[in-house]
Amino acid sequence: MANDLYNISLHRIDGTPATLEPYRGRVLLLVNTASQCGLTPQYNALEALYQRFKEDGFFVLGFPSNDFSAQEPGTNEEISRFCATQFHVSFPMFAKIPVVGKNRHPLYNALTAARPTSVGDSKQKFIEGLVNFGATINPEPEVLWNFEKFLVSRHGEIVARFSPNVEPDDPKLVKAIETELAKK
Q: Which residues are catalytic?
A: 37
Q: Are 50 and 90 in contact (CB under 8 A)?
A: yes
What is the full DSSP assignment across 65-98? --TTTT---S-HHHHHHHHHHHH---S-BB----
* Cis amide prior to 106 (ω within 30 degrees): no
Specify the amino acid at residue 169. Answer: D
Find the Cα–Cα–Cα–Cα dihedral 75, 48, 169, 161, rounded to 10°. Answer: 50
103 C-beta neighbours (distance < 10 Å), count: 9
